[in-house]
Amino acid sequence: MALTDASLSEDGLAVTGAQGRILLIACGALAREILDLKAANGWTHLDLTCLPAKLHLYPDKITASVTEAVAKHRDAYEDIFVVYADCGTGGLLQTACQEMGVQMVAGPHCYSFFEGNERFAQQSESEITTFYLTDFLVRQFEAFILKPMGLDRHPELRDMYFGNYEKLVYQAQTDDPLLTEKARAAADTLGLAFERRFTGYGDLETTLERL
Q: What is the pLDDT of residue 16?
A: 42
pLDDT at 70 over 50: yes
pLDDT at 8 over 50: no
Residues of the chain with CATH 3.40.50.12500: 7-105
Q: What is the pLDDT of residue 19?
A: 60
pLDDT at 17 over 60: no
- Give alpha helix (H) positions in the chain: 31-41, 62-73, 92-100, 110-115, 117-123, 135-139, 141, 147-149, 158-162, 177-190, 202-209
Q: What is the pLDDT of residue 15?
A: 41
Q: What is the pLDDT of residue 23?
A: 98
Amino acid 24 reads L
The closest alpha carbon to 34, from 115, 105, 98, belongs to 105
Report percent pLDDT > 70 for the chain. 91
- Interval 144-167: pLDDT, tens: 999 999 999 999 999 999 999 999
Report percent pLDDT > 90 for the chain. 89
7-105 — its CATH code? 3.40.50.12500
Confidence grade of residue 208 (pLDDT, cut at 50, 70, 90): very high
For residues 52-71, give the mean pLDDT.
Answer: 96
Mean pLDDT of all residues in the chain?
91
Confidence grade of residue 20 (pLDDT, cut at 50, 70, 90): confident
* d(C-alpha 87, C-alpha 5), whole Å: 28
Contact 141, 182 (CB under 8 A): yes
pLDDT at 6 over 70: no
For residues 92-97, give the mean pLDDT.
Answer: 98
For residues 46-56, give the mean pLDDT.
Answer: 96
Residue 164: which residues within 8 A CB-CB, separation 6 or more?
Answer: 129
